[in-house]
Homo-oligomer: A and B are copies of this chain.
């Protein structure tokens, strides 16, 4: 149902980005880059969690030296995150980075950019132009409207991309990030109308998980639902694996990531519910901890939507009282006392 916006394709160390490829999840290492074994440990954890690209900060010369070793041993393609220093960009490219990210807010001179383009061309390294609202120093405290901020970000993106296009360099990925969900949505809509390069989505500086998860889901979910976004990075002030888990949840909700676990549909309960459906749902959920089959299970509390959700689920429990009705592919197959329902459910699950 969801139609992705058509884009060019960019290859990042074997991971293809663009509308012809699945949306790729990426994250960043959070330990110091000179902590090579710490970085590699993070990368292995990220890869295991479903991350497909990893970005690494290289603020100093010591970091680009460490980068070369990390790239050699990394199980994921490594992207170098460059700020301020054209020298770091060239070093990272020569160290074997699969992509570099440049920030138009802090590498601005055409001469510097041309030098980086030359290095990218000779090593076939793509570039993300990563505009950050907070890095645009023309934006001043509080006094700039949302529309003007979006306009400035777009202008920055256009003039920067033009420098690459002038040199016939089209291996570009674009991103524009803000810590505000509404502005993130708007700037990416504008970028998607203006360019056909793949887009990297992210809400940045969004905060601790309890504050950041919902705005991230709103911003990235909206854009993905509008067909925009080819790689995503969720930013959380938390372990990077949590970023990958949240990215997977956002993508899954729009069928952009395969569901690998038992999915639990539960009615929210209301004044029609005769038993404690939430307690039952929690029991079912707990019992599913070890189950990695992509089955859809409904736990419902009444006859209004119970049979309908049952028809849509692989297995369903409709609990109208102490006796529960058990459904398989929408067909009633048993009436089961509430106390036995977990074991009946698991007996059926084994057959899947």
Contacts and interface: CB of A to CB of B under 8 A. Distances in A.
A119 interface: no
Interface string A29-50: 1111100000100000000000
Contacts of A22: none
A281 to B, nearest CB: 5
Given A222-B222, A300-B205, A329-B142, A211 B272 contact: no
Contacts of A217: 213-214, 217-218, 221
| Identical subunits present | 2
Interface string A99-139: 00001011000000000000000000000000011111101
Interface residues of A, number: 99
A253 interface: yes
Interface stretch (A156-164, A166-174, A243-251, A336-344): A243-251
A92 interface: no
A277 B32 CA distance: 13
A135 B305 contact: yes
Contacts of A105: 308
A228 to B, nearest CB: 11
A225 to B, nearest CB: 4
B308 A135 contact: yes
Contacts of A140: 311, 330
Interface in A148-190: 150, 179, 181-183, 185-186
Interface of A: 1-2, 28-33, 39, 55-59, 63, 81, 83-84, 103, 105-106, 132-137, 139-142, 146-147, 150, 179, 181-183, 185-186, 204-208, 211-215, 217-219, 221-222, 224-226, 235-238, 243, 246, 249-250, 253-255, 263-273, 277-278, 281-282, 285, 298-300, 302, 304-305, 307-309, 311-312, 329-331
Given A211-B264, A213-B214, 12 more contacts: A1-B186, A28-B270, A39-B271, A59-B271, A217-B218, A217-B221, A218-B218, A218-B222, A218-B224, A222-B225, A237-B277, A237-B281
